[in-house]
Amino acid sequence: MPPSIRRERALSDNQDYLARSRAAVWHPCTQMKRHESLPIVPVASADGAYLVDFDGRRILDAVSSWWVNLFGHKEPRIRAAIVRQLETLDHVMLAGFTHRPVVELSERLAALTGLGHAFYASDGASATEIALKMSFHYWKNMGAPGKTRFVSLEGSYHGESAGALAVTDVPLFSATYAPLIRQNFTAPTPDAREARTGESAADVARRAAVSLDNLLCKHHQEIAALIVEPLVQGAAGMVMYDAEYLRQARALCDRYRVHLIADEIAVGFGRTGTLFACEQAGIRPDLLCLSKGITGGTLPLSCVLSTDDIYAAFYDDDVSRGFLHSHSYTGNAAACAAALAVLDIFESDDVLARNRVREAEISAALAPLAAHPAVKSFRHTGQIWAFDVPGAPAGFAGLCFERMLAAGFLLRPIGQTVYLMPPYVVSAAEMAALAEALAAVLDTLPAGAPTTAVALP
């Protein structure tokens, strides 16, 4: 609609983009009819930890724009790296061609993880697909073609393409597509909230590992890989568990000749306090999936890192033993340049050390909220804080989203779980203000039937 017509109708830019978006854009993860009442938020610009709408209203992005934005919006160094890259090489196909950013990024990720071979795609679900296909194909190349199935944890989320949904245990996302999805195995979650009286989080982990042992013992001949979200199961509602589970899982995978795939798409790049979550267990996976924070929330990129052993199983004169998988934008030069800038910032700003200080300050700022009578199972790992509101009325997630938005904060509760996953530039004072607004929302919760775990669309 031309600006003149818009002015005649006296719509603000916010209302204008809201209406046009509803008509022309099919939004992700959304029942569009709900936007008859639930607002779509038009964003004109973003800066640091804030989104800004067309009226200049600032909203604190406390979920890092779906967990991707590490250092705030418009980080000048990442922006400069992308611009610099676009001035020399924007993109070239990666089959048969290579370029400086993809080589340097692969070398640096190898040095950081001990996994020496980097395969690229553009989003998290594709990284999951690649890891699953690689694992299956490895066993086929090794003369074990019967290993065709996978194990994931209860409540797991590894993306929403048909292959990734086969290892995603979130019925809201997978149930509808059941006829399209391969049946796999689900192992009990080591969720620390499952602790019985006298049990520690590590005890829960060991108990869950016994179930995994039984499952692998019985079915290992048909299982190619176990896929886990290390330390925090994000989409399940920030389910946190002890690193002991990863150590046990690593040992069991070795014993039963099953790959361990670490999906660090959400937890990688400092989110749990270490650069990668697996470091806290002192283990190395066979395949590591990275995305989300990898470009600091600027450009789409994902990566699957693999061991020398897996790589070697594909290296052959026979073409069909190779990994014949590709995406058009595989290894995009601008995205790789953004990822290199992100790694530079981790080094130059000593991000992990500074985050440890921020973590303590933010935890202190959230202490009054943690003590609110409606808040249960307040928990945190690194730069993720979460709690449950078991008595919340139906529609709590949407209600909390709307009320917090009105107060200037972006939160997206998952069912009865509220989580905070802010960019690493947010201050303790800003989080204290958020906690105060959130406590006020909890104070005024309408009474009603307890909600079932329905995610905000």
Ligand X SMILES: *Cc1c(COP(=O)(O)O)cnc(C)c1O
Which residues sit at the interface with ligand X, rule CB under 6 A?
123-125, 128, 157-159, 229, 234-235, 263, 265-266, 291-292
- 372 belongs to an annotated ligand binding site: no
Pair of tokens at residue 386: 């979460």
Q: Is 157 annotated as a binding residue?
A: yes
218 is annotated as contributing to ligand binding: no
Biggest CA-to-CA distance, the chain: 72
Smallest gap, in angstroms, from Cβ of residue 300 to ligand X? 7
Expressed in angstroms, the distance from the first to the final Cα of the chain is 28
What the block records as the tokens of 139 is 């066993």
Q: Give the residue with the Cβ less far from ligand X, 109 or 121.
A: 121
- Quote the least distance from Cβ 328 to ligand X, whole Å: 16
Q: Specify the residue, 277 or 369, whose C-beta has the smaller distance to ligand X.
A: 277
Residue 231 near residue 271, CB atoms below 8 Å: no
- In this complex, which beta carbon is closest to ligand X, that of residue 141 or of residue 168? 168
Which residue number has the CB closest to ligand X? 124
Locate 191 and state its tokens: 């969720």
> Please, which residue, 182 or 356, has the CB nearer to ligand X?
182
Whether 4 has a binding-site annotation, put simply, is no
Q: CA separation (Å) from 418 to 100, 289, 314, 410?
A: 42, 26, 44, 11
Q: How far is the CB of 43 from ligand X (least distance, A)?
A: 19
Residue 6 annotated in ligand binding = no
**Shorter beta-carbon distance to ligand X: residue 68 or 434:** 68
**Residue 269 C-beta: closest distance to ligand X, Å:** 12
Q: How would you classify residue 423: left for phi > 0, otherwise alpha for psi between -120 and 50, otherwise beta? A: beta
331: left (phi over 0), alpha (psi -120 to 50) or beta: left
Rounded Cα distance between 387 and 369, Å, is: 10
| Minimum gap (Å) between residue 47 Cβ and ligand X | 24
Cβ–Cβ under 8 Å, residues 194 and 236: no
**Is 26 annotated in some ligand binding site?**
no
| Residue 297 CB, nearest approach to ligand X (Å) | 12
Check whether 273 is labelled as a binding-site residue.
no
Shortest Å distance, C-beta 358 to ligand X? 22
Establish whether 72 is an annotated binding residue: no
Residue 24 CB: number of other CB atoms within 10 A?
7
Residue closer to ligand X by CB (options 234, 413) is 234
Q: Tell me whether residue 17 or residue 120 sits nearer to ligand X (CB atom).
A: 120
Rounded distance, CA 296 to CA 273, Å? 16
Asked whether residue 111 is marked as a ligand-binding residue, the answer is: no
Report the interhelical angle of 333-348 vs 76-88 (nearest 10°): 150
Closer of 68 and 204 to ligand X (Cβ): 68
CB of 156 to ligand X, least distance (A): 8
Pairing of strands 239-240, 232-233: antiparallel
* Nearest residue (CB) to ligand X, 170 versus 437: 170
Q: Which two tokens stand for residue 69?
A: 């934005």
Cβ contacts of 58 within 8 Å, gap of 6 or more: 50, 51, 52, 408
Residues 315 and 124: beta-carbon distance below 8 Å:
no
Does the annotation flag 57 for ligand binding? no
Nearest to 54 by CA among 3, 89, 121, 5: 3
Question: In the bound complex, what is the minimum distance in angstroms from residue 335's beta carbon to ligand X?
Answer: 13
Residue (of 238, 246, 158) closest to 193 by Cα position: 238
Binding residues for substrate: 66, 157, 292, 326, 412
Binding residues for pyridoxal 5'-phosphate: 124-125, 263, 327-328
Binding residues: 66, 124-125, 157, 263, 292, 326-328, 412
